[in-house]
């Protein structure tokens, strides 16, 4: 949906997956090219990376922007590469924190018809057309996840990482959900409904992630669990 002159207008280009037709197998080469570029570029980074993600809609005055920037700076100073979705808001804050420390600042931007443009603080920017390719990169080359408050995209990335760990498709790594006041309602629902009322998960699954608030505590936790 694109806003033009105050009106929301459908943009056919945003529905890429819906426009696949018989004979469109050539698109597979574009997908493979994105995987190859991502693998080659990120495999060259010789530091453990921490993925920071969250809302694209927070500006630099927002409390969570400030937290993400402080965490990005502190982890970069400790020797970690910082990897984000490459856009504005929390993503910009994480990349900006890494840039503040002259560290490795990776931005995996997604090509969207609205909302997201690449932020200027990534010194290793990559651009993707397909969400699923970018998500593979954010998981495959991360040694820890930091989930700041965000929207549906943040929930998608967060729960995919939790699912991959739960199903043992990837090795367990630290997942930090930042903001007790933001996440506590969701986790209460998970505990009450998914664990207790309609058991669809196990108690151990709730230990896959931690909820923390203080930037220094987050940095200490990552340093303690992801050894360089």
pLDDT tens figures, 178-223: 999 999 999 999 999 999 999 999 999 999 999 999 999 999 999 9
Tell me the residue length of the chain. 228
pLDDT at 153 over 80: yes
Q: Are 65 and 35 in contact (CB under 8 A)?
A: no
d(CA 23, CA 198): 44
pLDDT at 46 over 80: yes
pLDDT in tens, 60-115: 999 999 999 999 999 999 999 999 999 999 999 999 999 999 999 999 998 876 65
pLDDT band at 116 (very low <50, low <70, confident <90, very high): low
Largest CA distance in the chain: 53
pLDDT in tens, 16-34: 566 666 557 788 898 999 9
pLDDT at 45 over 90: yes
Average pLDDT over residues 12-19: 59
d(CA 50, CA 48): 7
Rg of the Cα atoms in the chain: 18
pLDDT at 118: 85
CB proximity list for 194: less than 8 A, separation 6 or greater: 200, 201
pLDDT band at 135 (very low <50, low <70, confident <90, very high): very high
pLDDT in tens, 49-62: 999 999 999 999 99
Closest C-alpha to 77, from 50, 42, 44? 50
Closest C-alpha to 50, from 139, 152, 150, 158? 139
| Domains along the chain with CATH numbers | 17-225 (3.40.50.450)
Query: Exposed, middle or buried: residue 187 (CB in 10 Å: 0-12, 13-18, 19+)?
Result: middle
pLDDT at 7 over 70: no
pLDDT at 140: 94
């Amino acid at each position: 949906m694109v806003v033009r002159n105050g009106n929301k207008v459908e943009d056919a280009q945003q529905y890429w997956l819906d426009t696949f037709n018989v004979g469109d197998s050539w698109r597979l080469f574009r997908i493979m090219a994105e995987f190859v570029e991502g693998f080659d570029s990120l495999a060259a980074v010789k530091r453990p990376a921490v993925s920071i993600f969250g809302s694209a809609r927070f500006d630099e005055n927002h409390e969570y922007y400030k937290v993400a920037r402080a965490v990005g700076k502190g982890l970069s100073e400790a020797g970690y590469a910082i990897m984000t979705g490459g856009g504005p808001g929390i993503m910009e804050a994480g990349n900006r924190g890494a840039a503040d420390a002259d560290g490795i600042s990776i931005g995996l931007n997604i090509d969207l018809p609205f909302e997201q443009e690449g932020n200027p603080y990534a010194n290793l920017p990559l651009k993707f057309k397909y969400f699923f390719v970018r998500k593979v990169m954010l998981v495959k080359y991360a040694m820890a996840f930091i989930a700041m408050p965000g929207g549906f995209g943040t929930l998608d990335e967060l729960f995919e990482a939790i699912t991959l760990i739960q199903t043992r498709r990837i090795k367990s790594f630290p997942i930090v959900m930042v903001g007790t006041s933001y996440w506590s309602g969701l986790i209460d629902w998970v505990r009450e409904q998914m664990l207790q009322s309609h058991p669809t998960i196990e108690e151990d699954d709730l230990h896959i992630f931690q909820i923390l608030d203080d930037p220094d505590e987050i940095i200490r936790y990552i340093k303690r669990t992801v050894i360089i």
